[in-house]
Amino acid sequence: MTASIPSESLEILQALRGAGHEAFLVGGCVRDLLLGREPKDWDIATDARPERVESLFPKTLPIGKAFGIIVVVPASGHAVEVATYRADSSYADGRRPEGVTFTNAREDALRRDFTINALFLDPQTGEIRDETGGRADLDARRIRAIGDPRLRFAEDHLRMLRAVRFAATLGFAIEPATFAAIQELAPNIRAISAERIRDELFRLLLESPRAGQGIVLLRDAGLLKEILPEIEAMAGVEQPPEFHPEGDVFTHTVLMLDAMDPGRSLRLALGVLLHDVGKPPTAQFATLADGTQRWRFESHAPVGAEMARAILERLRAPTALTDDVAALVGNHMRLSDAPRMRSAKLRRLIGAPTFEDDLELHRLDCVSSHAQLDIHEFLRGAHERFRSEPVLPPPLVKGRDLIALGHTPGPHFAGILRDLYDRQLEGMEDKAELLATIPPPAPVGQAPPAHGMDGGG
């Protein structure tokens, strides 16, 4: 076990112990080591007070010092969080304690969230200190709050979402009393900042082997309607069985999330989650031209794109990520038209920066419904055909060329340049030939075409 622990963490442990203090690895890193997983962080708990920790190491950061947390920065630069054993006072805001009292290892374990996160490891001897039954819960693959779950969740409401995230990413079940407390207190999650909710949700989507089951667990726990009511609204929204034999919109989305590859991007995961978010508000049971009736979702993609943008802005997601996900959602129906597209339009589609995720979202959409992959295969083939040349080469004609021909700059330039670029993408690759297609400048006093070289809409 010691072999997999970073050397800087072992050195900090040895320095603390050499100075006469207790020091253990604690929390998620111990849990992950025992599960055979690669830990993300290596936290240390000790009886040394914060000032003592600062005195033992040449470079430290007093982040969270009031709560007994000092960040030690070894020469390697890989910072390690060292926390003094503590007991927390009351939590007035449902987020953090009003104060702490420095104490011993047992009291420190009892103030933590879940039993599987309250294990202490001595890496030299391999000894595990378990004050809460965490080893048994690891063996049983169970998430259980320490002590009274209602009290744990009242202290920090985000722990409810963390319980679901741990269950989803580890493949564990939530112990019944713990789950019942989440269901009872779920509305309290609204008091938590959007950023903290976002981080837990994004980790669930990225790290869960079956992210769809994580969303189902959020729904069953009563948390989904509090943080993503737009996703909760998908449940029960029927779809035409000839296209969606799997069931309603929520079921379809869950199947897609479960089918994602482990190495998916966050952009793709969010695109899958939100791709049909526009269906509930656009659902209509319509009569078709042949007299048959079925559910239709006119314009659900553009409606969904705006909803996805609003959701991600509410979660304080980065602007670039929000833009990309909105594009994925808004474009996801366009791929079905690919075999009928003009060459220029097809090349624009394949040259989009989100194309790989566009294509994977389309594949997941198909395998989680009608299972027809002909469009996917067509697009893969087209992508291969364009591989030997830039899918979107630089335009041959630019605004300065129009000015040189006597055109007055204005909004109509965009339409002219777009039409010229489309002709270039469709095979007209001689600049002089392209310039010859441009109509002469409008006479003085006459407005140029609204856009495009033919003035059309």
Question: Could you state, in order of their start, the residue ranges of all structural domains in the chain?
Answer: 2-140, 142-227, 238-392, 396-457
Largest CA distance in the chain: 91
Task: For residue 164, give the nearest of 121, 127, 211 by alpha carbon.
Answer: 211
Task: Assign domain 142-227 one CATH number from 1.10.110.30, 3.20.20.140, 3.10.129.10, 1.10.1200.10.
Answer: 1.10.110.30
Structural tokens at position 148 = 């009274």
Residues 6+ apart with CB under 8 A from 71: 60, 61, 62, 63, 79, 80, 81, 82
99 within 8 A of 157, measured Cβ to Cβ: no
Q: pLDDT per residue over 391-427, tens digit each?
A: 677 888 888 888 888 887 888 888 888 888 877 777 7
319-331 and 355-367 helices, crossing angle to 10°: 50
Q: Nearest-CA neighbor of 416 among 391, 389, 442, 393?
A: 442
CA 383 from chain centre, in angstroms, equals 27
CATH class for the region spanning 2-140: alpha beta
Per-residue CA distances from 121 to 31, 206, 430 (Å): 10, 28, 71
Same topology, domains 2-140 and 142-227? Answer is: no
Token pair 């030997």 in the structure block, residue: 388
What per-residue confidence (pLDDT) applies to 100?
A: 84
Compute φ and ψ for 61, nearest 5 degrees: -125, 130
The per-residue pLDDT string of the chain (457 residues; one tens digit each, 9 = 90 and over) reads 555 888 899 999 999 999 999 999 999 999 999 999 999 889 999 999 999 999 999 999 998 898 899 999 988 778 999 999 999 877 766 677 777 889 999 999 999 999 999 999 998 889 999 999 999 999 999 999 999 999 999 999 999 999 999 999 999 999 999 999 999 999 999 999 999 999 999 999 999 999 999 999 999 999 999 999 999 999 999 988 888 889 899 999 999 999 999 999 999 999 999 999 999 999 988 877 787 878 888 899 999 999 999 999 999 999 999 999 999 999 999 888 888 888 777 877 888 888 899 999 999 999 998 888 999 999 988 888 776 655 677 888 888 888 888 887 888 888 888 888 877 777 777 788 888 888 777 665 555 555 444 433 3
Phi, psi of 394 (to 5 degrees): -65, 145
For the stretch 349-392, pLDDT in tens is 888 888 899 999 999 999 998 888 999 999 988 888 776 655 67
What's the pTM?
0.81
Task: Enumerate residues 6+ apart whose C-beta is below 8 A from 85.
Answer: 45, 46, 47, 68, 102, 103, 104, 105, 107, 108
Question: In angstroms, rounded to a whole number, what is the distance separating the alpha carbons of residues 427 and 60?
Answer: 62
User: From residue 364, how far is each of 96, 153, 269 by CA, in Å?
Assistant: 40, 36, 11
Residue 73: closest CA among 81, 84, 83, 64? 81
How many whole angstroms separate alpha carbon 23 and alpha carbon 32? 19
Q: What local confidence, expressed as pLDDT, does residue 1 receive?
A: 54
Rounded alpha-carbon distances, angstroms, from residue 37 to 115, 200, 202, 399, 444:
18, 19, 19, 56, 73
What pLDDT shows up at residue 323?
Answer: 96
Fold annotation for 238-392: Hypothetical protein af1432 (1.10.3210)
